[in-house]
Structure 1
Amino acid sequence: MKDKTIPSVKKVVKEKKEIEVIKTTDVSGKPKEIRMKRLPYVWPVNGSVKREYGWQNGKFYPYIEINTHKGERVRNARDGVIYAINGNIYTGYTVLIEHPDGWSTEYGPLRSVSIKRGNKINRGDVIGKSENSLLKFSIRHYANTVDPLQYLPDAIAHLKPPIMLKERFSDLIRKVKYKRPDLYLLTAYTAGPESTGKTPNHPLYGITACGKRVKDWYTVAADPQVGFGTVYYIPYFKDKPNGGIFVVEDRGSKIKGKHLDVFMRSLRDALRFGAKRDQPVYILGKIKM
């Protein structure tokens, strides 16, 4: 039941709704535009993600853990109202903030807080200071948790670098440049229901067909005839963190023949990428899975 001592977020917070126009292409190569509401969130602290959201080793984590420093200032991710402050100076505080349209965020543990229950708080305002070197951060829509990395900007910049294969295959890359490439259709997918039909609370959310967790700038889905562990070099991505090298870890019902589906963390990034036809692709070899 809603606590009547807390002011209604609808009355207190007047959030400007901005529309983002994503220009992309479909599989036929025709340009199209997709209109989406711009994400209103910012990162609570500036650090890399140590633990991602979802199922890991048989346990479900409804939050992400962000590396930070003890005593680091923690900021509010979105305009809202302070709904609850739980805990104490000995155990650390957890702060729950209510946002418009049924959304809420939670932060903890904090060693101190600089806000009061019921106060309006703007995006980027300081909530308090971190209790230790890890901050747990979660986003909910009503009673359901969601993956924060789908809503925070530039999520990939906060993730650990992928397993790098550039050094191992650098000589091969130099050699294949003189060979004739195969031409492929390139598309992109996410771990979400738009691509896989799985919601974040599904035990196989983010798990590939070979049983491994999807990885940015690493995982690619290929035809079932292509073995897991096959390494592709895609020059289109040569300036990305992986140097354009991807490993086959997944399948897709529509991925047949010379068609590769690259995993991307963000739905927006996948939509922006769209489909790229007749892209040069090289097979470099195979690694153990």
Structure 2
Amino acid sequence: MVCTFCGAPSPEGAMVCSACVAKVRGELFFREWMVDPRSDLRALGSRSACLRIGPSPQGEVLLRKGSDPYLLLERTIQGEDHSHLPTILDQYLAGMGVGLHLMGDEQVPLRPKLKELLGIPERMDLQGERWGRALLRLGNILALSARDMARLPLGDPMRDEVFRERAAQAMGLYRRASAIPELEPIARANLAMLRHWGGEHEAAIAELRAVASSDDARLQLAKVYWDLGREDEAAEMVASVQDLEGAILRLRRGCP
């Protein structure tokens, strides 16, 4: 067999050579439909730094329309005062389209700085719910990448190894976020989705049923049922969601 990327010989059962596997392991890989070409346009309209001149009674950093949505985040990371970083990072990731609940149909822009953002939790350990929300969103990016990398034609042993490696990074962020009581159910639900993608379907269902007290968690459970071909159970779960039309659209979007 030959590598689909470079044409070099590849191991039996795999369509990617060892050299290209090494490159893939160091990158954030998403399937083509996962990449959102409109994200930057959306961010330019709602998530850019607002220049403030003079003192202000407001403690929170303001985000307004502007030309560079990453500018404020980059300067905050480089500065000595990181007190606003959790809020800015959380809002930046939300503007990219990364939700708190891991659904599997997210569309993420492949920005050059994204890998740098994923390295922030390794260098910093901040506090508060906003920090936990940012950890959840970063974990979701890693989880989505783990799922999509596992669908590359790497051969079973390498595919499992690549998935476990990337999934472990996501799990670490989820566990850190779960230390915040308000976010603990979301972290558990996201961990369950990751376990589902790793093949632990029944364990994932049991965990999601235990935390399915919100519409988002119920939709996550519906997506697991749908992936497994258990359409009646998926429909029953979707019927319990308040936004029925939106839930149906999300259930069908991003199906493998």
Query: Whose strand proportion is higher, 1 or 2?
Result: 1
Q: TM tier, shorter chain? A: under 0.3
Q: Give me the TM-score of the superposition, normalised by structure 2.
A: 0.26
Q: Per chain length, whose mean CA-contact separation is higher, i.e. which structure has more relative contact order (CA < 8 Å, sep 6+)?
A: 1
Higher share of residues assigned helix: 2
What TM-score comes out, normalization by structure 1 length?
0.24
Q: Which has the larger radius of gyration?
A: 1
